[in-house]
Amino acid sequence: MGVADLADYPWDAVAPYAERARRHPDGIVDLSIGSPVDPTPAVVAAALADATDAHAYPQTAGTPALREAIAEWYHRRRGVPALTAAHVLPTVGSKELVALLPLLLDLGPGDVVVHPRAAYPTYEVGARLVGAEAVASDDPTEWPANTRLVWINSPGNPDGRVLSTAELRDAVRRARELGAVLASDECYAELGWESPWDARRVPSVLDPDVVADEYTGVLSVYSLSKQSNLAGYRAAFLAGDPALVARLLTGRKHLGLMPPAPVQRAMTVALGDDAHVEEQRERYARRRAVLKPAVEAAGFTIDHSEGGLYLWATEGRDAWESVGRLADLGILVGPGHFYGTHFPQHVRFSLTATDERIAAAAERLAD
């Protein structure tokens, strides 16, 4: 198995529907791919500009300032104390880490990579890349004995499901029984909407209530793309088991996976500034308050979606039919077929559009 053997990129199949949506007299409302549309915070952009004299190779491990900022951020924003530089590592965005983690862990044929039933497709891509088997399961009791890597995702993409500390504990316990690495994709953790997550933080897998002080075999993965509008910067990081971090660092050094020095500086500043995160959260909350009731009034049932950037919805018909019906309204969404075989009647609405475009979508759904 190799890169050339991977299937066609799924989003290419949406292109005809995008063309239909663009023919709407008022233009397309693109709620498909969750790419941020709001400005990069000025304080972060200034830090990037100030660091452009980047004549030397950057550090794969991250600058000391960046690693300290990551550890401090986990303490302040995620309730995870006592992390050090040995527990953290920056990455070139989170997608490359998701795709390459099975390779960096030396997985191969005969090994299983577990991922959620409603799942970001790159979890499966990473497994297939090394010839491992991808298994979709949300139930730890179902995970096979030859499982070597478990991906969990909270809040989930596409379904916005938030895992409780009890559910995280169960996942960690089962992964350790199997001798598997558990990696928790937490990129939407600042975006909890429904009770109780509207009033308290979404728990991290590294939370003391989940792992106490024992990080063995556990990793948390986070990205600044969503909370800080840094998708174009490719700015992400992981934290957890220091032995795993050291192992991944060695592999990443060999592969040249180095976040650019100006990006490392921008990440350091972004992690220390909470004001822009709250501002962005308010934007998404405002858009969600407009779009959610409009989607429901148009005949869709929204499942989960208590956190994250998406509304996971169904009107009881094949997802491609829903995609087509919405495209005729000038609204583009993602079909559930892209997120596994278990949700063929769901579509994903993204909140990553401007206030004006979200309002336009709500008006079209009402009409």
Residue 243 DSSP symbol: H
pLDDT for 9: 75
Q: How confident is the model at residue 149 (pLDDT cuts 50, 70, 90)?
A: very high
At 222, give phi and psi (nearest 5°). Answer: -140, 150
Q: List the one residue out of 185, 176, 177 whose CA is nearest residue 155.
A: 185
Alpha-carbon Rg for the chain, nearest whole angstrom, is 20
pLDDT for 247: 98
Residue 90 makes CB contacts below 8 A (sequence gap 6+) with: 61, 62, 66, 67, 70, 235, 236, 237, 259, 264, 267
Residue 143 and residue 115 in contact, taking contact as beta carbons nearer than 8 Å: no
What predicted TM-score, i.e. pTM, was given to this entire model?
A: 0.95
Of 273, 297, 313, the residue at which a domain comes to its end is 273
User: In this structure, are 162 and 215 located in the same domain?
Assistant: yes
Residue 235 and residue 259 in contact, taking contact as beta carbons nearer than 8 Å: yes
Residue 2 has pLDDT above 80, yes or no: no
Residue 220 makes CB contacts below 8 A (sequence gap 6+) with: 74, 78, 80, 183, 184, 186, 204, 205, 206, 238, 239, 240
User: In this structure, are 112 and 247 located in the same domain?
Assistant: yes
- Distance from C-alpha of 286 to C-alpha of 282, rounded to nearest angstrom: 6
User: In this structure, are 96 and 230 located in the same domain?
Assistant: yes
Residue 343's CATH number: 3.90.1150.10
User: In this structure, are 238 and 281 located in the same domain?
Assistant: no
Q: What percent of the chain has pLDDT over 90?
A: 95
Q: What percent of the chain has pLDDT over 70?
A: 98
Q: How confident is the model at residue 258 (pLDDT cuts 50, 70, 90)?
A: very high
User: In this structure, are 242 and 302 located in the same domain?
Assistant: no
pLDDT, average across residues 56-78: 97
Residue 124's CATH number: 3.40.640.10
Residue 5 has pLDDT above 70, yes or no: no
What tokens does 143 get? Answer: 């995970």
Of 222, 252, 273, the residue at which a domain comes to its end is 273
pLDDT for 4: 61
User: In this structure, are 342 and 243 located in the same domain?
Assistant: no
DSSP sequence for 208-221: HHHHTT--TTEEEE
User: In this structure, are 79 and 33 located in the same domain?
Assistant: no
What's the structural domain count of the chain? 2
181-185 vs 218-223, strand pairing mode? parallel
User: In this structure, are 292 and 202 located in the same domain?
Assistant: no
- Distance from C-alpha of 15 to C-alpha of 4, rounded to nearest angstrom: 22
Q: Which residues span the domain enclosing 134? A: 43-273
Q: What is the pLDDT of residues 283-323, one digit of tens each?
A: 999 999 999 999 999 999 999 999 999 999 999 999 999 99
User: In this structure, are 8 and 21 located in the same domain?
Assistant: yes
What tokens does 82 get? Answer: 């006592």
Of 257, 273, 289, the residue at which a domain comes to its end is 273
User: In this structure, are 236 and 348 located in the same domain?
Assistant: no
- Distance from C-alpha of 249 to C-alpha of 357, rounded to nearest angstrom: 42
Residue 235 has pLDDT above 80, yes or no: yes
Q: List the one residue out of 323, 322, 338 whose CA is nearest residue 7.
A: 338
User: In this structure, are 81 and 229 located in the same domain?
Assistant: yes
Residue 117 and residue 340 in contact, taking contact as beta carbons nearer than 8 Å: yes
User: In this structure, are 76 and 222 located in the same domain?
Assistant: yes
pLDDT for 14: 92
- Distance from C-alpha of 72 to C-alpha of 101, rounded to nearest angstrom: 25
Residue 218 makes CB contacts below 8 A (sequence gap 6+) with: 172, 175, 181, 182, 184, 205, 206, 211, 240, 241
Residue 225 and residue 236 in contact, taking contact as beta carbons nearer than 8 Å: yes
- Distance from C-alpha of 32 to C-alpha of 164, rounded to nearest angstrom: 28
